[in-house]
Amino acid sequence: MADVRRASAPASGHEVRARHEFRGMRTVEHYFTVPLDHAEPAGEAITVFAREYVSAAHTPEAAAQLPWLLFLQGGPGGRGNRWGSLGGWSKAAAQDFRILMLDQRGTGLSTPLDRNTLPGRGTAAEQAAFLEHFRADSIVADAELIRHALGSPAWTVYGQSYGGFCALTYLSFAPEGLQEVLITGGLAPLSGSADDVYRATYQRVAARNDEYFAWYPEDRATVERIARHLRSTSEFMPDGSPLTVGRFQMAGAFLGGNTRVDSLHYLLEDAFVETSGVPRLSDTFLEQLQGVVSRRSNPLYALMHESIYGQDQATNWSAWRILGENPWFRPDAEPLLLTGEMVYPWYFEQDPALEPLREVADLLAAKQDWKPLYDPRVLAANTVPAAAAVYTDDIYVDRDLSLRTAAAVNGLQVWETADFHHDGIADDGERIFARLLGMARSGGRRPPA
C-alpha cells in the first residue's frame, strides 16, 4: 500500500494559481506535486488539485486562522464538487472551517486518467500496474502531504460514500493527521469479499424497485414498453453508441437518491415520441439518459469500482457473477428491474469511452494481490473522535455491513436514519453535517476498548 507515514515531509510542490470572490465566498486554487508511488517519493510525480472555499463573512485575516476541513468525494473517480455558492452542509461548515475540496488523484484538474491518456502508459499490463496507485491508500497519502504543505495541524475529514471508505483508510494508517472524522453513507466492509457486498445490495435494489413502482405504478408499464421496444428496434445514444436493455437498466442509479428518485419519473415520462405513427425514443429521453449510461467523464469509476472491495483477493467481476444468483435483474427478465451502481464487463463493449480499456479492466478484475486498505487492529484501538450517518435503506452501502464496520471502530458513533438515502447530504446536508459534528465532538477522544 502507499506508505502514508513516509508522507510526513511537505509535498515537493505547492502552487496557488488563482483566487476569486463571488456570491458570499472566496476560493483559492491549489496545485500540489505528489509522488505517483508514495513508497518511491523520488520517482514519477503527478499533480493533485484542490479548491479552497471560505465564507466571505470571514475577513481574509480571520479566515487564515480557521481550521481546515478536507472533503473526500464519492466515487471512485468522482472529482470534487464545483460550487457556485455555499449552501447545505458547506454553508454550515464554512462558519467554522476553511473547506478543502479535493480532486482525488486521476480526477478533475488532477493528473487525468481516461481513454486518451491511459494508453500512453504502455501495454494493458502497464496501465493496470499504474492504476494500482489510484486507490484509497494513495489518496490518503496525498492528503497527508497536502496537510503538511498547508501547514495544518490534524484536520477534520468529511467523507461521503467512497470518501467515507477513504476516511476509514485514513483512520487506519495516518490517524495522527486527524482531529475528527465525519462519514455519510460510507462505512466500508473491513473484510470479506466483494461478493458479500453485491449479495446485499442486489436485495436492497430489488426492494427499492418495488417501492418506486408502488409510488409510480404507471412507470411499470413504461419500463416494460421501453424494454420491448429496445429488443426489437435499434436505438442509439447521442454519442452514437447503441442503447441496449442492459444500458437502460442503469437508469436505476436514480433509485439511490433521496430526491433524485422522483427524477426517474420525469425521465420516463419523456421516453417516447411518435414519428409518422411509429414510436421511437425521444431525443429528450436519450439526452438525459446519456449522462447516466456513459462513463466518459469518470472512467475510473468503471475501472476501479470493484477494486475498492478487493483486499488480498480478486474480485473477478463480482457484480456480474452475483447477477447469476439474482436472475430477476437480467435484461431479458419480465418484469424488468432497474439496477444500481454495479459494473459489468459488457460496459467496456458498449460504452465508447470504455472500449479501449477493456483489457485493462479484465486485468484489474483478475488481480489477486490487492493490498489491505484498512488495519482492523488500529481501528479497534481508535482514539480519533468519529461519527457516521448510516442510511437504513441505502442501496449502495448496505446498512448491515455498515453497522458491522461501525462496531469494529472504537469510539465511532453512529446515527442510523431512514429519513435519507445515499445522497442525503444533497437533500439536507446542513442538518446532517451539524448533527455528525456535534456527535463527534460530544464523544471526545475515547481510550481503546
Counted residue by residue, the chain has a size of: 449
Residue 155: beta bridge partners?
178
Indicate which residue of 262, 369, 400, 442 is catalytic: 369
Which residues lie closer than 8 Å to 221 by C-beta, 6 or more apart? none
By CB atoms closer than 10 A (0-12, 13-18, 19+), residue 61 is exposed
Q: Is 265 part of the annotated catalytic residue set? A: no
Strands 13-22 and 98-103: unpaired
d(CA 63, CA 266): 42
Indicate which residue of 38, 133, 229, 422 is catalytic: 422
Indicate which residue of 161, 172, 307, 402 is catalytic: 161
d(CA 56, CA 58): 5
HSE of 282 in the Cβ direction (CA atoms, 13 Å)?
11
Q: Is 422 part of the annotated catalytic residue set? A: yes
Residue 20's SS3 state is strand
3-state secondary structure 293-348: HCCCCCHHHHHHCHHHHCCCCCCCCHHHHHHCCCHHHCCCCCCCCCCCCCCCCCHH
Q: Is 369 part of the annotated catalytic residue set? A: yes
3-state secondary structure 212-226: HHHHCHHHHHHHHHH
Cell matching residue 300: 475510473
Give the residue numbers marked as catalytic.
Answer: 161, 369, 422
